[in-house]
Structure 1
Amino acid sequence: MKKTITLLLILVVHYVQAQYTDSVTIRKIYDEALSNGKSYEWLRHLTKKIGPRLSGSAGAQKAVDWTKQLMEQQGFDRVYLQDVMVPHWVRGAKEEAYILNGKKKTVVPIAALGGSVATPPKGIGAGVIEVKSFAELRAMSPDKVKGKIVFFNRPMDPTKINTFEAYAGAVEQRANGATEAARLGAVGAIIRSMTNVHDDYPHVGGMRYATGVPLIPTAAISTNGADLLSKTLAENPNATFFFKQNCETLPDAKSYNVVGEIRGSEKPDEIIVVGGHLDSWDLAEGAHDDGAGCVQSIEVLRILKALGIKPKRTIRAVMFMNEENGLKGGIQYADVAKKNNEKHIAAVESDNGGFTPRGFGIVGTPEQRAKVIPWKPLLAPYGLHEIGPGSGGADIGPLAQLGTVLFGFKPDSQRYFDYHHTMVDTFETVSQRELELGGASMAALVYLLDKNGL
């Protein structure tokens, strides 16, 4: 009995000592990020000196070259490029659109969705069918839709506290609206922007066509424009809409994932990835989506190195290419990892903006999640209370097939869709302190993952 009690006391003492050591190290991580952080100035360069970075563009290549050079300058053990072929869609000349109500012509802001075809050179003018759901559209007679422009006007649900849930409930219109409309003979599709903010900025994003369905042009319309179009149609169902866009899809282009790593001292064959996606939409500087995630990921490695923390496992920062319109970078990274028999024990992605940290979503088995839950008291003092089942990230998602546990960094979600996929996703909208807190939060998680494993 005495031996059992003694053993229990020893275990308790060891646990308390370990908790104390971890709490001290995590405090140092935050102190380093908040006192000497580099991510904000890195983000300034990425957004202001390079700017938009759509896959296949000159901006994307400049971002590849710069992030590779940046990680080399940080003295990481290895920095390299990973080849990947990516889609190359270009917008062309600025879009035009207006509502014609009798003799009154009102210009409204639109932007072609990524992957869309162009309109005919002279544009498209037609009557409009407004719907709020695919079910509503499918219930209509093809004769009613044929030759018309379908206007998908379901807003994001404003009652959802987590705005990503609201986005998920509306984004199918953007992704598949053109296909649904074309099946009934429509000549075009206009999609209400994915935001609850009432503004004049079209929120773009990717769309896709189903096989065997006519390819019709599709564009996002600003929320103010959508409200005006809906009001006009209610007053005059015979009002028409005109739009012209000049986009095209070019042959796939060669690009790269950019990878930097600190080699593990004890278990170098076990890998922990932290990353974000380097590409952004062509209208945006891509500050929150996802310049923030990229610079935070590089900052994780910089912090560990600055503090003299020698990880047991290999820590990799990966700048994924082509998340926005193809996910080719994430797929290629996982394919190479599988081919090389690499063991990725965990992957952390930041792709929800550079806002105040709230926690991490975990994709893994109940047993794997249970190993993370005891870390909550260590992370709670830094505002990381939302730690539990959730989503990981699009780029790291393909790693799940290798048994990798995925962690999605969760900042506060309330403002993300104010800027998402628009020209106002700029450096000026990012708070330096919030950005640095996010990098520190990711570094703290990576430290615990490296020390304890899963």
Structure 2
Amino acid sequence: MSKNLLPFLFAILSLNCLAQNEIKEDSITLKKIYKTSLLNGKSYAWLDHLSNQIGARLSGSVNAQKAVEWGEKELKELGIDKVWLQSVMVPKWTRGVTEFAFIETEPGKTTNVPICALGGSVPTPIGGIKASIVEVQGIDDLKKLGSEKITGKIVFFNRPMQADLIETFKAYGGCVDQRYSGAAEASKFGAIGVIVRSMNLRLDDFPHTGSMSYGDLSDMDKIPAAAISTNGADLLSSILKLNPKIKFHMNMNCRTWKDVESFNVIGQITGSEYPNEYMVVGGHLDSWDLGDGSHDDGAGVVQSMEVLRLFKEIGYKPKRSIRVVLFMNEENGLRGGKKYAKVAKNKGENHVFALESDAGGFTPRGFSFDCDDANFKQVEGWKSLFEPYLIHYFAKGGSGADIGPLKKDGIVLAGLRPDSQRYFDYHHAKNDTFDAVNKRELELGAATMASLVYLFDKYGVK
């Protein structure tokens, strides 16, 4: 062997040893994080209080304000460097008394079905509306039918989530347009109301609410819009096939008020080496009003808070400033996410990384990333560290709605990806309650988030 090769080989061996030492150190740190979360975690107790003592947290509501005060108090008790509230104006919409609907097959013969108003819908006239109903599979069907067959009727959007798609969020994305834009489009053809099949892969009696928009319609042209449970939708469709002349009655008392002030809740551990490089971890504090919002997104809120607590607990001192942000108004406006990004931009803050948990408190499977190839390659190099915890999913594409407004060149955006097969059983529905969340799954998710934040803090972005 040439003597000239010896220094080269020695350098390679040295680098390899250093890399092995780093992997070993990282493995030990991740083990501490998971052990602390599973044996001495606080996320489940936090969620218990948020869900059962405060409850549903619709933007602009009294409970939303209680949640803000609770979040600020709990973060201050962690003893982190800084906690503050960031003012944001949010929409205020109220549901009113419970909605009521029935199918009338002939005068005096009716069958009740479960419905709920979509968020932002106008109410029905006092006493409700009753009209013939026309079933469609999507917005495109409206053009095929035309005003002649729609005017004066209630449009029933009945396109289900595509059950053969393993990624349930893709199935959701494939049919949510009828919920969001269905009323605006149906109104243009003379419809007097809209019923939308719930975004749910399961057959049950829970109608699922969610945001909707009237676009640029005038107040005179806005029509009431409601979701119907999947069982109710199947029943209605079956009866329509037997008797197209049936009537549908719906009564809703919802109302939109003037915008009100609310807040993002922000806590920070200031970086020891790069205090002006900011890393964000967060979830949205608001929820819909039917359940208590445990999966959507109480789980993401407490997991994000737990990231900072875990670092304090294991004695890890971040190099970069790490913020937890409890965003307000993700569900019906995204005002909190937009306000946080706007303030950060105006202050010239250098955000390098952001992670959001907004897909439920189920078993973590991995992450999705919105980043360049260099950073994704770095992430793939960490995959072996997560494999002992059965975390194998690392994919490019998508992060989180609240952190999306932070997007710019050089930032890494990430989303926690739990197992999604059961998520839409609860999403925006009355059964999204604390008892639907598994303690161990929630704690695994918090540890998984903390582990990724640790790795990006240690090695930085490329």
Deviation at 1:196, TM superposition (A): 1.2
From 68, 78, 82, the counterpart of 1:78:
82
Tell me which residue corresponds to 1:228.
Answer: 235
In the alignment, does 2:290 pair up with 1:286?
A: no
Q: 1:158 aligns with which of 160, 163, 167?
A: 163
Counterpart of 1:101? Answer: 105
Q: Gaps spanning 5+ residues in structure 2: where?
A: none
User: 1:274 Cα shift?
Assistant: 0.4
> Normalising by structure 2, what TM-score?
0.97
Q: Does residue 1:91 correspond to 2:95, yes or no?
A: yes
State the partner residue of 1:418.
425
CA contact (8 A) 2:90 2:259 kept: yes
Deviation at 1:390, TM superposition (A): 2.4
User: Residue in 2 aligned with 1:329?
Assistant: 336
For the residue of structure 2 that corresponds to 1:255, the secondary structure is strand
SS at match of 2:408: helix
Among 47, 50, 54, the residue aligned to 1:46:
50
AA of the residue aligned to 2:243: N
1:104-115 maps to which residues of 2 (within 5 A)?
104-115=109-120
Which of these residues, 61, 64, 70, is aligned with residue 57 of structure 1? 61
Q: Give 1:141 deviation, angstroms.
A: 2.3
**CA–CA separation in structure 1 for the residues paired with 2:96 and 2:106:** 30
1:255 to 246, 252, 262: 262
Contact 2:204/2:230, CA 8 A, preserved across alignment:
yes
Structure 1: gaps of 5 or more residues: none
Counterparts of 1:388-403 in structure 2, within 5 Å, are 388-401=395-408, 403=410
- 1:10 and 1:388 map into 2 onto residues whose CA distance is 32
Q: Is the 8 A contact 2:184 2:217 kept in 1?
A: no
Q: Which residue matches 2:36?
A: 32
CA distance in 2, matches of 1:133, 1:386: 32
Partner residue in 2 for 1:198:
203
> Is residue 40–residue 436 contact of structure 1 (8 Å, CA) maintained in 2?
yes
What is the aligned counterpart of 2:306 among 284, 299, 307?
299
1:350-361, aligned counterparts within 5 Å?
350-361=357-368
Contact 2:208/2:227 (8 A) holds in 1: yes
Please list the CA deviations of residues 184-207 of structure 1 after superposition, one character each: whole Å capped at 9, or x if unmatched. 010000000000111111100000
Read off the aligned partner of 2:187 and give its amino acid letter.
Answer: A
- The answer as to whether partners of 2:330 and 2:336 remain within 8 angstroms in 1 is yes
User: Do residues 347 (structure 1) and 351 (structure 2) align?
Assistant: no
Aligned pairs (5 A) from 1:164-179: 164-179=169-184
Q: Is the 8 A contact 1:88 1:252 kept in 2?
A: yes
Identify the residue that residue 71 of structure 2 maps to in structure 1.
67
Could you tell me how far 1:180 is from its partner in structure 2? 1.3
Q: Give the ranges of 4+ consecutive aligned residues of structure 1 lying more than 3 Å apart after TM superposition.
A: none
Q: Partner amino acid for 2:207?
A: P
SS at the partner of 2:407?
A: helix
> Secondary structure in 2 aligned to 1:120?
coil
**Alpha-carbon distance in structure 1 between the residues aligned to 2:302 and 2:100:** 36
Q: Which amino acid aligns with 2:182?
A: G
Q: Distance in 2 between matches of 1:361 and 1:219?
A: 32
Check whether the contact 1:373–1:388 (CA below 8 A) recurs between aligned residues.
Answer: no
Query: Residues 390 and 408 of structure 1 are in contact (CA less than 8 Å); yes or no, is this contact kept in structure 2?
Result: no
1:18 aligns with 2:44: no
Q: Calculate the TM-score normalised by the size of structure 1.
A: 0.99
Deviation for aligned residue 1:261: 1.0
Cα drift, residue 401 of structure 1: 3.3
Work out the percentage of aligned pairs sharing the same amino acid. 55
Kindly report which structure 2 residues correspond to 1:171-190, keeping only aligned pairs within 5 A, or say none: 171-190=176-195
| Residue 450 of structure 1: how far off its partner (Å) | 0.3
Instruction: Quote the Cα distance in structure 1 between the aligned partners of 2:178 and 2:80.
Output: 43
1:402 shift after superposition: 6.2
Q: Report SS of the residue matched to 1:84.
A: strand
The yes-or-no answer on 1:6 pairing with 2:10 is yes
Q: Residue deviations 1:254-275, cap 9 Å, x none? A: 0000001111000011111000
CA distance in 2, matches of 1:401, 1:327: 18
Partner letter of residue 347 of structure 2? N
CA–CA separation in structure 2 for the residues paired with 1:82 and 1:277:
14
1:214-225 equivalent positions in 2, closer than 5 A: 214-225=221-232
Contact 1:344–1:402, Cα closer than 8 Å, also in 2: no
What's the RMSD between the two structures over aligned residues? Answer: 0.9
Q: Distance in 2 between matches of 1:197 and 1:373?
A: 34
Specify the SS of the correspondent of 1:422: coil
Question: Structure 1 residue 416: deviation in Å?
Answer: 0.4
Q: 132, 149, 153: which one pairs with 1:148?
A: 153
- Residue in structure 2 matching 1:314, options 321, 329, 333: 321
d(CA) in 1 for partners of 2:306, 2:21? 28
Assess if the C-alpha contact under 8 Å between 1:338 and 1:402 holds in 2. no
Paired position in structure 2 for 1:268: 275
Aligned residue number for residue 136 of structure 1? 141
Deviation at 1:394, TM superposition (A): 0.3
C-alpha distance in 2, partners of 1:412/1:260? Answer: 28
- Is structure 2 residue 446 aligned with structure 1 residue 442? no
Q: Distance in 2 between matches of 1:136 and 1:9?
A: 66
- SS state at 1:401 partner: coil
Contact 1:284 1:422 survives alignment (8 Å): yes
1:56 partner amino acid: G
Q: Return the alpha-carbon distance in structure 2 between the equivalents of residues 402 and 152 of structure 1.
A: 40
**Cα deviation digits, residues 88-121 of structure 1 (max 9, x gap):** 0111111111100013211111100001101111
Deviations 1:25-64 (CA, angstroms, capped at 9, x unpaired): 1001001001100000000000000000000000000000
Aligned-pair distance for 1:399? 0.5
